[in-house]
Amino acid sequence: MSTTTLGTRPQNKAPRTLALGLSRIGYETRLYFRSPDTLLFTFFFPFIMLGIFTAAFSSSGNIGANPDGTGGVSVGTYYLPGMLAAGMLLSGVQNLAVDIAGEKSDGTLKRLGGTPLSPLSYFLGKIGQVFVTAILQAGLLLLVARLVLDIALPTEPGKWATFAWVFVFGVITSAFLGIALSAVPRSGRSATAVVAPVVLVLQFISGVYLQFTTLPEWMQNLASIFPLKWMAQGMRSVFLPESFAAAEQSGTWDLLWVAGALGVWLVLGLVLSRVTFRWIRRDA
């Protein structure tokens, strides 16, 4: 056979992969905002929950108040960090697991697999989309917290530095875990049924909906295996007064543990994503 390869020239691969990845981010983000299901269950869900909790529990007074009713923080203030953490989890895990499982079963991935799009560009697009939407979501949550719920936000730069690394680290970890989890559902239709309960249970045991410090110890220990507990704890360290640290499991914010747990889950997510991702389900 001839080895003629008409029209193939050495291309500058890395910049091209990056450029296509950036173009994917724009495309994916646009499609994200056109999908009503995704918008409701990943983007606006934390807003809805924050609204409900604030409305339902505000009458029972501040959380962490002294016996005489002074001190503590408002219900909204208390729940804000949990909702930010939930948003990170939803934007990554729920969004991508459902999205990619759907793309696998509806032929989107098969079509892309027949084009010269590098899987790396595809992943850049997905992770970038998660970042863009998670940043918009967190920004909007903070804005609503400040302007609508009148929650005082921290002013110390150190707190915001903590916010930044917990957020970036948590969102990347969530994104990779979402890609890894997308391999589990057998069809696009069953994806929501597989993914939503996992995410929901995590939110209940990790201190998003229920005050983490009031949960039984075994549940706290169980939650500590999973990343959401650590994201929520990191966020509490930013938005709650130092006095609340005493109520945490070890009596401190344990930011090193937050970083360590997210690091382990990030590596796990990366490896699982790499091992399980296929443009198409391989045949025998």
Partner 1 sequence: MTSTPPAVHVRDLQKSYGGVEAVRGVSFSIAAGETFALLGPNGAGKSTTIEILEGYRDRSGGEVSVLGIDPHRGGLDWKARLGIVLQTSNESGNATVTEQLRHFAGFYPHPRDVDEVIDAAGLREKAKTRVSKLSGGQRRRVDVALGIIGRPELLFLDEPTTGFDPEARHQFWNLIRGLKAEGTTILLTTHYLDEAAQLSDRAGIIVGGRLIDIGPLDEIGEADARVPVVRWRDGNGSVREERTSRPAEVVADLVAIGKGAEPEGLEVIRPSLEDVYLSLVRGHEAMVAGNEAAASANDARPDPSRHTDRDVRA
* Neighbour-count burial of 124, counting CB atoms closer than 10 A to its CB (0-12 exposed, 13-18 middle, 19+ buried): buried
For the window 61-100, what string marks contact with partner 1 as x by the rule CB under 8 A? ----------------------------------------
Q: Does 213 bind partner 1 (CB under 8 A)?
A: no
CA atoms of 100 and 275, how far apart (whole Å): 15
Q: Judged by CB under 8 A, how many residues of this single chain contact partner 1?
A: 35
Q: Does 260 bind partner 1 (CB under 8 A)?
A: no
* Contacting residue, 61, 113, 139, 197, with partner 1 by CB under 8 A: 113
* Contacting residue, 61, 71, 114, 139, with partner 1 by CB under 8 A: 114
Contact status, residue 120 vs residue 270, Cβ threshold 8 Å? no
Residue of 133, 156, 137 lying closest to 145 (CA atoms): 137
CA angle 94, 50, 134 (to 5 degrees): 40
Q: Does 108 bind partner 1 (CB under 8 A)?
A: yes
CA atoms of 200 and 195, how far apart (whole Å): 9
Residue of 239, 169, 200 lying closest to 46 (CA atoms): 200
Contact status, residue 188 vs residue 104, Cβ threshold 8 Å? yes
Nearer to partner 1, 146 or 281 (CB): 281
* Contacting residue, 88, 117, 235, 266, with partner 1 by CB under 8 A: 117
* Contacting residue, 67, 116, 216, 251, with partner 1 by CB under 8 A: 116
Considering only CA atoms, give the Rg of the chain.
Answer: 21
DSSP 152: P
Q: Does 105 bind partner 1 (CB under 8 A)?
A: yes
* Contacting residue, 18, 72, 110, 135, with partner 1 by CB under 8 A: 110
For the window 3-42, what string marks contact with partner 1 as x by the rule CB under 8 A? xxxxxx--x--------x--x---x--xx--xx-------
By CB under 8 A, name the binding residues for partner 1. 1-8, 11, 20, 23, 27, 30-31, 34-35, 102-103, 105-108, 110-111, 113-118, 280-284
